[in-house]
Amino acid sequence: MGRLEGKVAVVTGGASGIGEGAVRLFAAEGAKVIIADIQDARGEKLAEELGTVTAFAHCDVSQEADIAAAIDQAVRKWGRLDCMYNNAGFGGVSGPIDELDLAAYDATMAVLLRGVFCGIKHAARVMKPRGGGSIVSTASVAGVGAIFGPHTYSAAKAAVIHVSRTVAVELAEHNIRVNAICPGGIATPIFGKGMGLSAEQADATVEVMKGVLAQGQPIKRAGLPRDIAEAALWLASDASSFVTGQAIVVDGGITLAPGGMWANRQGTPEERRARMAAAFAGAAQQG
């Protein structure tokens, strides 16, 4: 315990899924944490549960001013920023390339890539005068392989990996480390939300997704938010003080043997949604 004692972090997308897992673990390990999210009710409830070591900030990462304000809130409240975790994301636009909706493309990239750029920008603004810090961003195995996500999502995540490398070089002289985490199949509400379900309905799909994802990689269980949170914790802590510019894959081995995931990617988006809906329905009947 206490691996982040005395440190201050901002976690975007911190009200649910991987972000919530990171907030809980960071707080348990001694950090003060700003929960930055668009889900006001969930974020405020989480902050109330965890107590005075956390605070909520409404933050749409596609809006630079929101990100700047969340970081400034951390500095105003606790006097510093030690870790910026750019985690917020969603599945975004999908479908065949020749049918790509460019307005939806712009909206997807605004969250998945522009939001990361803004998070890095404003974290650097605060960390440089202090002479150090750790910036972590959630990328994806979709950024390192060709079959793990839609085109736009995959391109954005590949860009997150590369900008983590280029900025790591720039900020190294200021003792600011910049790294990315590439999750594999993690059981979170993102899958349900991608099917158009409400936040509450999407929460109910998590247990189903554990079963669906368990056969997708050599380690026969679904990834959990805690798995990614542990990687983020290590990168945020002094234990990784000589690590920068890296894309750390946390995927149960799926990038080594992606057959199960490939099977799940077969067919049109409508066919994949139908398979997922059937899985949800079957689990609901069993439950």
Per-residue tokens: 81: 């920023």
pLDDT band at 261 (very low <50, low <70, confident <90, very high): low
| Chain Cα centroid distance, residue 53 | 21
Q: Measuring CA to CA, how many Å separate 255 from each of 55, 97, 147, 162, 183?
A: 36, 24, 10, 18, 10
Phi, psi of 133 (to 5 degrees): 155, 175
Which residue in the block uniquely carries the two structure tokens 């081995």? Answer: 253
- pTM to 2 decimal places: 0.88
- Summarize the confidence of residues 136-155 as an average pLDDT: 95
DSSP per residue, 175-189:
TEEEEEEEE-SB-ST
pLDDT band at 285 (very low <50, low <70, confident <90, very high): very low
What's the burial of 224, exposed, middle or buried (CB within 10 Å: 0-12/13-18/19+)? middle
- Summarize the confidence of residues 95-121 as an average pLDDT: 97
DSSP per residue, 117-148:
HHHHHHHHHHHHHHT-EEEEEE--GGGTSSSS
- What pLDDT shows up at residue 172? 98
DSSP 82: -
Question: Are 34 and 10 contacting, i.e. CB atoms less than 8 angstroms apart?
Answer: yes
The Cα 142–Cα 94 span in angstroms is: 13
Per-residue tokens: 181: 């985490």
- What pLDDT shows up at residue 177? 98
- What pLDDT shows up at residue 203? 66
pLDDT of 110 over the 70 cut:
yes
CATH homologous superfamily for the domain 8-286: NAD(P)-binding Rossmann-like Domain (3.40.50.720)
Q: Which long-range contacts (CB under 8 A, 24 or more apart) does 113-116 make?
A: 113/156, 113/159, 113/160, 114/61, 114/62, 115/12, 115/61, 115/62, 115/67, 115/86, 115/88, 116/61, 116/86, 116/160, 116/163
Q: Spot the catalytic one: 85, 153, 234, 280.
A: 153
Cβ within 8 Å of residue 118, ≥6 positions away: 61, 64, 67, 68
Per-residue tokens: 17: 């899924």
Read off the pLDDT of residues 203-245 as tens digits, 9 standing for 90 and up.
Answer: 666 667 777 777 778 888 888 999 999 999 999 999 999 999 9
Read off the pLDDT of residues 71-102 as tens digits, 9 standing for 90 and up.
Answer: 999 999 999 999 999 999 999 999 999 999 99
153 is catalytic: yes
